[in-house]
């Protein structure tokens, strides 16, 4: 890769590699995309749209990409019987994963509030019947990866990777080899996969942990942390879908998702076993 651009955005490290030079205005646009996205959705910022909704409810207008995110969240919500929902935000915060990173649970685990009673996500934006803290972490980072890739492709880049600390999307000929980081040992990998043009996302529950068995992946149906699945990886066409499926795989069987999405996956359970879709049978070390 001829040119590389690293930066911090939405609370994580990003790295963009491209065969062609990444021009200053293109770099600026990437940072702007991240800033706009963060301003809409971050529940860790006082000035974000999501924070305003949490304080007073009402309507938050969203740009065009908001409709795609809402549609995906709704599909995942329906396929997981409510296990995935943006309304998990207030439950995460109540478990201590809040804007101040207090890491002190303030309420016992409880199911997220029901989508239909509270939340209307249309092509125009989000409307809340009453205040609620939303969290689009299930697929938001992936969508921002997509927006950056699309921006770079529109600027003429034909061989480019956007990597948001393990959630990545690539455009280009051939393929690269990506290691699947061992969830219990960051210096090891459980396998490798090839990434051509498409997205690979990863999610693991063991990194963002606090307190007694608390981490950032909740089953919204119970409000409790998922402890059977410890990590998931998904290969899909776009990063928003791959990211969302990574989250959904913590609370749903892959077979339940296979009818609605075209993807490959690896799941790792807390006992160290792994499950995988057939095309990835050779990807894991055994």
Partner 1 sequence: MTSTGQTETPSTTLAPRTAFPLHKRVLTALAAVSILGAAGCAGAEAESPASGSPAAEAPTGATTTAPTSTEEPATAAPSGSAAANDPAPTAAAASDQTYTDGTYTQTGSYQSPAGPEEVGVTITLEADVVTAVEVEPMPDNPTTTMYQERFAGGISDAIVGKKLDELAVDKVAGSSLTSGGFNEATGKIKSEAQI
Binding site for partner 1 (CB under 8 A): 8, 11-13, 44, 101, 103, 161, 163, 165-168, 176-183, 185-192, 195, 200-204, 206-208, 210, 216, 231, 233, 253-256, 258-259, 265, 268, 271-278, 280-281, 284-286
Kindly report the number of other CB atoms within 10 A of residue 16's CB atom: 24
Query: Which of 43/111 has CB closer to partner 1?
Result: 43
256, 75 Cβ separation under 8 angstroms:
no
Minimum gap (Å) between residue 223 Cβ and partner 1: 20
Minimum gap (Å) between residue 61 Cβ and partner 1: 26
Pick the closest to residue 265 from 191, 207, 165 (CA basis).
Answer: 191
Spatial separation of the C-alpha atoms in residues 243 and 220, rounded to whole Å: 17
Query: Which of 24/46 has CB closer to partner 1?
Result: 46
Query: Which of 147/246 has CB closer to partner 1?
Result: 246
Query: Which of 110/165 has CB closer to partner 1?
Result: 165
Spatial separation of the C-alpha atoms in residues 273 and 89, rounded to whole Å: 30
Query: Which of 104/154 has CB closer to partner 1?
Result: 104
Minimum gap (Å) between residue 129 Cβ and partner 1: 30
Minimum gap (Å) between residue 124 Cβ and partner 1: 30
Query: Which of 93/180 has CB closer to partner 1?
Result: 180
Q: Which residue has the tokens 């990211």?
A: 243
Minimum gap (Å) between residue 179 Cβ and partner 1: 4
Minimum gap (Å) between residue 226 Cβ and partner 1: 14
Minimum gap (Å) between residue 200 Cβ and partner 1: 5
Query: Which of 121/146 has CB closer to partner 1?
Result: 146
Cα 263 versus chain centre, distance: 15
In 223-243, which positions are buried (b, 16+ CB within 10 angstroms) versus exposed (e)? Answer: bbbbeebbbbbbbbebbbbbb
Residue 268 has which token pair? Answer: 């790792």
Q: Which residue has the tokens 């529940």?
A: 43
Pick the closest to residue 81 from 247, 185, 233, 220 (CA basis).
Answer: 220
Minimum gap (Å) between residue 44 Cβ and partner 1: 6
Order of strands, sheet of 167-171, starting from the edge strand that comes earlier in the sequence: 3-9, 12-18, 160-164, 167-171, 198-204, 229-236, 264-269
Q: For 17, left (φ over 0), alpha (ψ -120 to 50), or beta?
A: beta
Query: Which of 119/226 has CB closer to partner 1?
Result: 226
168, 162 Cβ separation under 8 angstroms:
yes
């Amino acid at each position: 890769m001829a040119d590389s651009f690293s930066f911090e955005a939405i609370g994580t490290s990003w790295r963009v590699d491209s065969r062609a030079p990444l021009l200053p205005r293109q770099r600026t646009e990437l940072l702007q995309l991240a800033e706009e996205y963060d301003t809409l959705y971050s529940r860790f910022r006082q000035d974000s749209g999501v924070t305003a909704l949490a304080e007073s409810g009402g309507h938050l207008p969203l740009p065009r990409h908001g409709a795609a995110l809402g549609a995906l969240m709704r599909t995942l919500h329906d396929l997981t019987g409510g296990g995935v929902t943006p309304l998990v935000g207030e439950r995460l915060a109540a478990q201590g994963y809040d804007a101040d990173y207090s890491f002190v649970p303030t309420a016992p685990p409880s199911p997220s509030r029901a989508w239909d009673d509270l939340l209307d996500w249309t092509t125009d934006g989000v409307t809340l019947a009453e205040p609620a803290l939303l969290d689009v972490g299930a697929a938001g980072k992936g969508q921002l990866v997509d927006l950056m890739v699309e921006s770079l492709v529109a600027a003429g880049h034909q061989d480019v990777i956007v990597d948001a600390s393990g959630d990545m999307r690539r455009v280009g000929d051939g393929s690269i080899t990506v290691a699947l980081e061992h969830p219990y040992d960051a210096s090891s990998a459980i396998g490798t996969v090839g990434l051509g043009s498409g997205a690979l996302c990863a999610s693991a529950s063991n990194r963002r942990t606090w307190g007694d068995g608390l981490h950032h992946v909740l089953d919204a149906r119970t409000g409790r942390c998922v402890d059977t699945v410890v990590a998931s990886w998904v290969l899909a066409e776009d990063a928003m879908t791959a990211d969302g499926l990574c989250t959904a795989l913590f609370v749903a069987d892959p077979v339940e998702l296979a009818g609605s999405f075209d993807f490959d996956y690896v799941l790792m359970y807390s006992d160290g076993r792994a499950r995988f879709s057939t095309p990835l049978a050779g990807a894991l070390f055994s």
